């Protein structure tokens, strides 16, 4: 498949789409003309695809500076009558929470979808929060698709629901849906409105208390109506087994897939209610489904969200029915599900045996695969920055326990591992500087904050202003690799290229730092290890807030130099001191069985850092 | 009694070896042949040199995750990674593995050991006759570029009995999913892997 197929293919054709790609097609079929995001796994591919096709497909798209701004711009577009789409990873919604809660109150005019990509089992995240609870807290309806086809279809359904009730609608995916690929039958693309108009009528969008009280009432009424609509909504499906069955399963999202496959494969005697609209809760539908059942199994990820609703409904009705799920430990309380987990849970409740397939019993227990933690790429400028910093710390004889590294969210978090171990504290986007401020005030230790360029723009500026204003002592290193790398190479305000590929204004990190009043501001090029080390030495001894911008482009997203060089290890000069391997730690270097050091040319990026690192000058240009 | 509804493929390797591309080629080919296909991918932080898994089921199913001991086909792009996929292997699993190691930095630093692959293969061979190792990197290098190693393995996989997608459909899907400039090389890689299966099973 080619990316352009996502908007060029016609109604009725089929594509093998990733959940995230299906969201883009769904946006086009829903007549959405405005989209925004801040990238984050597992939602990132939505933005990557939109960035490539938005112009040709005729919609406005931006990588906003952070999730709150992304939500605000899309909310404003919807208030102006356009259909809009904002998407982010689950923890992104925490950043956007203030705007999210209030947008539930103000409501929208054009339809608005807020897609939250949750990450059960924390494949690429710092927590596994269930954002259905965030939606309930805000009073925003939640749709939960199970596969790419539903992701696309729910985009279209969500927009109509949003417009009918003038309320933003959340689509909650999980990693296993966002990153699931499946056959998707396409619908018709509807061109969206090109231009909005903000009408100054009605109760308005300024939520001073008197207005907000009224909006609060409106919101509750909207949710009651949506709950009633849910009783007959096509996204809530009873998959009838048999009226004689005494066991029923209520499920949503990826969990439904596991349930349906097991029920089919083993012809299990159960009825299934698959909920697409998970909030607000459609009580009449539920009552009808469970009234003749004795056992209800609730299969959902991550929190017992539907399970508690089922229990409260049963309590309200005064019924005697057993509910099985997370709360009675039929299923684990945390982490994502797997078919094997569901198989065991269903077998237990149904009191039947569902045997697992037989293994090979090959007795391999004493053989272990090597640990393969994610690692900075060969040629990564972050490694070189960390190495120069390490050398500066060593030359100033600062003891390990006397220097604390406050890290942030990005590739550079990988300096957590040996041999660098430069991440003592890292909790969320932009936290490096705020945490560093607290450490600086609470302790007498040396404090270093490391933050990426994109993360600095996202949430690093207010804490930097605070750090300076509160007169803290710290060194802030902006790891400026000219791109948002971890999520796949998106632009940010520090670089000139915009989504459409046009030149944009560049926001200067050093000018921002100077304007905020940082006493020592330096830009270094980590490609030069010695010079970088000298600047770090100066900054480590500086009293006050220093900001060092270490600027060199990411090796993944910047084309290789036109002039190629090949390096080699001169085995006569090499003393096998292993500084290149054990202290610098480039993954393109390796040892043969005889102990000699070599370069793996599949991985080498010809950065030349190792040449500077080698004390014997044993790494040379191959002629 | 259970009736098997799908053909289950599990692909394991290291970030950058092309597990997703390989599975996408198979999945799109299956779709073109009128079969249902579902697939699960790994993106994000794990890609930076870590273990990467892609799962694919072909048939009348909803979930892409391979069931315990139920893989029909296990493709191993880095041989030691086979050990991480043991739970997927069953009596009827066809295993195709590359024999070129990628040594992680944890081994160079001495905080992790690389396993004895001869022992691993030897013990597996006492339990299954469906294990096939192939020097995909060497073959790929001979063809012209190490990056087509995954397609060599794909070629071999397509030759295994019970593989549900026709060779022609795979070739057509490769045309859709690979850059035009490297297509000839990839076609050659596929054909070499395909023929290799018959050479070693003759």
User: Is A182 close to B5, i.e. CB distance below 8 A?
Assistant: no
User: Is A368 close to B113, i.e. CB distance below 8 A?
Assistant: yes
Determine how β-strand A619-621 pairs with β-strand A567-569: antiparallel
What's the rounded Cα separation, in Å, for the pair A107 and A164?
A: 11
| CATH number, domain with residue A63 | 3.40.50.970
> A220 and A249: one domain?
no
Residue A260: list chain B partners with CB under 8 A.
62-63
Q: Which residues contact A503 (CB under 8 A, 6 or more apart)?
A: A496, A497
pLDDT of B1 reads 34
- Mean pLDDT in order along chain A per 10 residues (623 residues): 94 98 98 98 96 94 97 98 98 98 98 98 95 98 98 98 98 98 98 96 93 97 98 95 92 98 94 98 96 97 98 97 98 96 96 91 92 90 98 97 97 93 97 98 98 98 98 98 89 84 89 97 96 98 98 85 87 95 91 88 88 96 87
CB B182 within 8 A of CB B194: no
> A505 and A610: one domain?
no
What's the rounded Cα separation, in Å, for the pair B141 and A339?
A: 39
Structure tokens at B80: 């030691």
> A611 and A538: one domain?
no
Closest by Cα among B140, B151, B153, B169 to B58: B169
pLDDT of B46 reads 55
User: Is B62 close to A256, i.e. CB distance below 8 A?
Assistant: yes
Name the percent of chain B lying above pLDDT 90.
Answer: 82
Interface test with B, best of A6, A180, A181 (most B CBs within 10 A): A181
> A131 and A255: one domain?
no
Q: How many CB atoms lie within 10 A of CB A341?
A: 17
Closest by Cα among A611, A548, A16, A155 to B31: A16
> A139 and A275: one domain?
no
What's the rounded Cα separation, in Å, for the pair A234 and A239?
A: 12
> A220 and A271: one domain?
no
CB B55 within 8 A of CB B10: yes
Could you tell me which chain B residue has the CA closest to the CA of A265?
A: B2
Residue A587: list chain B partners with CB under 8 A.
49, 104-105
User: Is A373 close to B50, i.e. CB distance below 8 A?
Assistant: yes
User: Is B50 close to A123, i.e. CB distance below 8 A?
Assistant: no
| Residue of B87, B91, B112 lying closest to A370 (CB–CB) | B112
Closest by Cα among A91, A21, A82 to A51: A21
Which B residues in the span 136-165 are in contact with A, Cβ-Cβ below 8 Å? 146
Could you tell me which chain B residue has the CA closest to the CA of A598?
A: B108
> A588 and A609: one domain?
yes
Predicted structure pTM score: 0.96
What's the rounded Cα separation, in Å, for the pair A113 and A203?
A: 22
| The last residue of a domain, from among A350, A368, A390 | A350
> A342 and A434: one domain?
no
Instruction: Please compute the mean of the pLDDT values over residues B103-132 and round it to a whole number.
Output: 91
| Residue of B5, B38, B67 lying closest to A182 (CB–CB) | B38
pLDDT of A344 reads 96
> A136 and A18: one domain?
yes
On the question of pLDDT at B2 being above 70, the answer is no
Cis bond before residue A419 (omega within 30° of 0) = yes
Radius of gyration of chain A (CA): 27
For residue A51, give its domain range.
5-195+204-230
CB A345 within 8 A of CB A330: yes
pLDDT of B3 reads 47
Which B residues in the span 25-54 are in contact with A, Cβ-Cβ below 8 Å? 27-28, 31, 36-51
Distance of CA A162 to the CA centre of its chain: 24
Instruction: Please compute the mean of the pLDDT values over residues B175-183 and round it to a whole number.
Output: 94
> Check: CATH 3.40.920.10 for B7-106+126-201?
yes
Could you tell me which chain A residue has the CA closest to the CA of B13?
A: A372
User: Is B108 close to A589, i.e. CB distance below 8 A?
Assistant: yes
Domain presence at residue A405: yes
What's the rounded Cα separation, in Å, for the pair B109 and A81?
A: 59
Query: What's the total number of domains in chain A?
Result: 4
> A406 and A457: one domain?
yes
Instruction: Please compute the mean of the pLDDT values over residues B1-12 and round it to a whole number.
Output: 80
Residue A340: list chain B partners with CB under 8 A.
67-68
Closest Cα in chain A, distance from residue B118 (Å):
11
pLDDT of B79 reads 97
| CATH number, domain with residue A346 | 3.40.50.920
Three-class SS string for A553-583?
CCCCCCCCCCCCCCEEECCCCCCCCCHHHHH
Closest Cα in chain B, distance from residue A608 (Å):
19
pLDDT (tens digit per residue) in B23-80: 999 999 999 999 999 999 987 665 567 899 999 999 999 999 999 999 999 999 999 9
A437 to each of A304, A405, A433, how far by Cα in Å?
Answer: 38, 12, 6
Domain presence at residue A356: no
Strand ranges for B23-168 from DSSP E: 37-40, 51-59, 73-76, 94-98, 131-134
Domain presence at residue A367: no
- Does the beta carbon of B108 lie under 8 angstroms from any beta carbon of chain A? yes
Domain presence at residue A572: yes
> A308 and A399: one domain?
no
Residue B65: list chain A partners with CB under 8 A.
176, 258, 338-339
> A226 and A244: one domain?
no
Could you tell me which chain A residue has the CA closest to the CA of B15?
A: A374
Could you tell me which chain B residue has the CA closest to the CA of A177?
A: B40
Total CB pairs under 8 A between chain A and B: 208
Domain presence at residue A357: no
Residue A176: list chain B partners with CB under 8 A.
40, 64-65
């Amino acid at each position: 498949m080619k990316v352009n197929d996502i908007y060029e293919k016609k109604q009725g054709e089929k594509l093998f789409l990733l959940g995230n790609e299906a969201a883009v097609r769904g946006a086009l079929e829903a007549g959405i003309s405005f989209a925004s995001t801040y990238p984050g796994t597992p939602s990132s591919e939505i933005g990557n695809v939109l960035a490539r096709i938005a112009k040709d497909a005729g919609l406005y798209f931006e990588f906003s500076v952070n999730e709150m701004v992304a939500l605000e711009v899309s909310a404003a577009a919807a208030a102006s009558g356009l259909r809009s789409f904002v998407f982010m990873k689950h923890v992104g919604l925490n950043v956007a929470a203030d705007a999210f809660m209030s947008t539930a109150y103000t409501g929208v005019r054009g339809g608005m979808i807020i897609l939250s990509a949750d990450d059960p089992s924390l494949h690429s995240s710092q927590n596994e929060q269930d954002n259905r609870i965030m939606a309930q807290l805000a009073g925003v309806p939640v749709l939960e698709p199970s596969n790419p086809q539903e992701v696309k279809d729910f985009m279209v359904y969500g927009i109509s629901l949003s417009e009918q009730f003038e309320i933003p609608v959340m689509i909650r995916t999980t990693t296993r849906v966002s990153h699931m690929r499946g056959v998707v039958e396409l619908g018709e693309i509807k061109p969206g409105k090109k231009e909005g108009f903000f009408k100054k009528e009605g109760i308005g969008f300024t939520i001073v208390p008197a207005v907000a009280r009224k909006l609060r009432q409106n919101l509750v009424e909207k949710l009651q109506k949506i709950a009633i609509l849910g009783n007959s909504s096509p996204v809530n499906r009873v998959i009838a087994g048999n009226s004689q069955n005494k066991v029923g399963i209520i499920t949503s999202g990826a969990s439904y897939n596991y349930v349906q496959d097991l029920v089919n494969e083993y012809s299990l005697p159960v009825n299934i209610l698959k909920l697409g609209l998970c909030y607000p809760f459609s009580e009449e539908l539920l009552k009808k489904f469970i009234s003749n059942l004795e056992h209800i199994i609730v299969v959902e990820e991550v929190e017992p969200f539907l399970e508690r609703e089922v229990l409260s409904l049963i309590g309200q009705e005064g019924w005697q029915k057993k509910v099985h799920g997370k709360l009675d430990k039929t299923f684990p309380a945390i982490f994502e599900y797997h078919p094997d987990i569901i198989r065991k849970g269903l077998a237990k409740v149904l009191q039947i045996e569902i045997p697992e397939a037989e293994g090979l019993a090959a007795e391999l227990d004493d053989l272990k695969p090597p640990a393969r933690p994610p690692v900075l790429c060969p040629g990564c400028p972050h490694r070189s920055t960390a190495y120069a910093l390490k050398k500066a710390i060593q030359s100033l004889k600062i003891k390990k326990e006397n220097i604390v590294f406050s890290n942030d969210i990005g590739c550079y978090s990988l300096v957590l591992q040996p041999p660098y171990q430069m991440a003592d504290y890292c909790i969320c986007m932009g936290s490096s500087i705020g945490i560093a401020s607290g450490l600086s005030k609470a302790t007498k230790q040396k404090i270093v904050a490391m933050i990426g360029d994109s993360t600095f723009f996202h949430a690093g500026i207010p804490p930097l202003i605070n750090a300076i204003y509160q007169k803290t002592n710290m060194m802030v290193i902006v790891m400026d690799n000219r791109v948002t790398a971890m999520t796949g190479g998106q632009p940010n305000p520090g670089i000139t290229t915009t989504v459409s590929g046009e030149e944009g204004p560049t926001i200067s990190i050093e000018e921002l730092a100077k304007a905020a009043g940082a006493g020592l501001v330096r830009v270094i090029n980590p490609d030069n290890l010695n010079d970088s080390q000298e600047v770090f030495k100066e900054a480590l001894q500086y009293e006050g807030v220093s900001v060092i911008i270490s600027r060199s482009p990411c090796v993944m997203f910047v084309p290789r130099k036109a002039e190629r060089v090949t390096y080699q290890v001169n085995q006569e000069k090499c003393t096998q001191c292993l500084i290149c391997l054990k202290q610098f730690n480039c993954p393109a270097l390796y040892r043969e069985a005889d102990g000699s050091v070599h370069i793996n040319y599949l991985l080498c990026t010809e950065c030349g850092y190792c040449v500077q690192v080698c004390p014997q000058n044993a790494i040379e240009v191959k002629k | 009694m259970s009736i098997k509804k799908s053909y289950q493929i599990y692909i394991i390797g290291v970030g950058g070896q092309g597990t997703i591309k390989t599975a996408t080629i198979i999945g799109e080919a299956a779709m073109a042949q009128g079969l249902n296909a579902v697939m699960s991918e790994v993106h994000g932080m794990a890609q930076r040199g870590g273990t990467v898994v892609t799962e694919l089921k072909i048939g009348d199913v909803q979930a892409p995750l391979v069931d315990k001991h139920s893989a029909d086909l296990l493709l191993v792009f880095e041989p030691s990674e086979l050990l991480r996929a043991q739970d997927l292997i069953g009596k009827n699993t066809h295993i195709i593995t590359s024999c070129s190691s990628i040594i992680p930095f944890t081994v160079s630093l001495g905080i992790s050991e690389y396993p004895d692959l001869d022992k691993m293969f030897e013990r597996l061979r006492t339990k299954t006759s469906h294990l096939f190792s192939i020097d995909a990197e060497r073959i790929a290098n001979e063809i012209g570029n190490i990056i087509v190693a995954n397609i060599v393995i794909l070629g071999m996989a397509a030759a295994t009995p019970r593989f549900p997608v026709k060779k022609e459909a795979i070739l057509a899907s490769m045309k859709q999913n690979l850059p035009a400039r490297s297509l000839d090389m990839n076609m050659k890689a596929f054909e070499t892997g395909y023929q290799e299966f018959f050479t070693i099973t003759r």
